[in-house]
Amino acid sequence: MITFYHAPWSRASGIFWLLEELGAPYRIEHVDIRAPGGVPEEYRAIQPNKKVPAIDHDGVVITERAAISIYLCDVFPEAGLAPAVGDRMRAQYLTWLVYADAVFDPVLAAKAHGHEFMGRGYSYGSFSEMANHLERTLSSRPYIAGDRFTAADIQIGAGINYATNVLKALPERPVFKEYFGRLATRPAFQRYSQKDFEMARATGMAGAV
């Protein structure tokens, strides 16, 4: 059984979408990352920075979105969300899954918080390098790793959605809109969005009630 440590409308939402794509049974443990007193200290035993997401799969704990994605897709290969070892597309799949957390997310967070920096000296490079690389890649193929949907699309797609509609930190380029439009037609995306919305409302988040 999978326990999914989650907070609605957060960076954990892409893992929620992935779980719906996989079709594996899971239960949700709400971690209130917005509680005035902070997340209880006991949760640090699961996630060292008390962040979501985290997964407990039959007693094995996995943290960090890229690692969780790789782990779950390898444990549930029948879902077909990861190119197998030996498939040439696996190189781009792994590259983009890691890029999502190592470059895309920190660059956007810095932008959203008004942090100006030079690309040199930071492991993630500059904002325009990231946005242009993403645009070039998505102009050359329908999905982030190639010609078919993978778990890397979930992390990049969820990130584009959040960065465009919530952070307002990503330029509204047509290629990003078309790409996300393609992903948003997926039944698993629609199921997870509805469930995340219901969880946001049930936990009293502003805007959801």
Ligand X SMILES: N[C@@H](CCC(=O)N[C@@H](CS)C(=O)NCC(=O)O)C(=O)O
Query: What is the binding site for ligand X (CB under 6 A)?
Result: 10-11, 33, 39, 50-53, 64-65, 101
Q: From the CB of 80, what's the least distance to ligand X, in Å?
A: 23
| Residue 51 or 111 having the CB closest to ligand X | 51
Query: CB of 32 within 8 A of CB of 10?
Result: no
Which residue has the CB atom at the shortest distance from ligand X?
51
Please choose, from the candidates 101, 107, 207, 123, the residue with its C-alpha nearest in 3D space to the C-alpha of residue 167. Answer: 107
Q: What are phi and psi of 185, to 5 degrees?
A: -80, -10
| Residue 146 or 157 having the CB closest to ligand X | 157
Give CA angle at 36 (30, 37), nearest 5°. 85
Tokens 């969820």 sit at which residue?
158
| Residue 55 or 183 having the CB closest to ligand X | 55
Query: CB of 158 within 8 A of CB of 14?
Result: yes
Q: From the CB of 155, what's the least distance to ligand X, in Å?
A: 9
| Residue 65 or 111 having the CB closest to ligand X | 65
| Residue 11 or 195 having the CB closest to ligand X | 11
Q: From the CB of 173, what's the least distance to ligand X, in Å?
A: 24
Q: From the CB of 28, what's the least distance to ligand X, in Å?
A: 15
Q: What are phi and psi of 204, to 5 degrees?
A: 75, 25
Q: From the CB of 1, what's the least distance to ligand X, in Å?
A: 21
Query: CB of 36 within 8 A of CB of 60?
Result: no
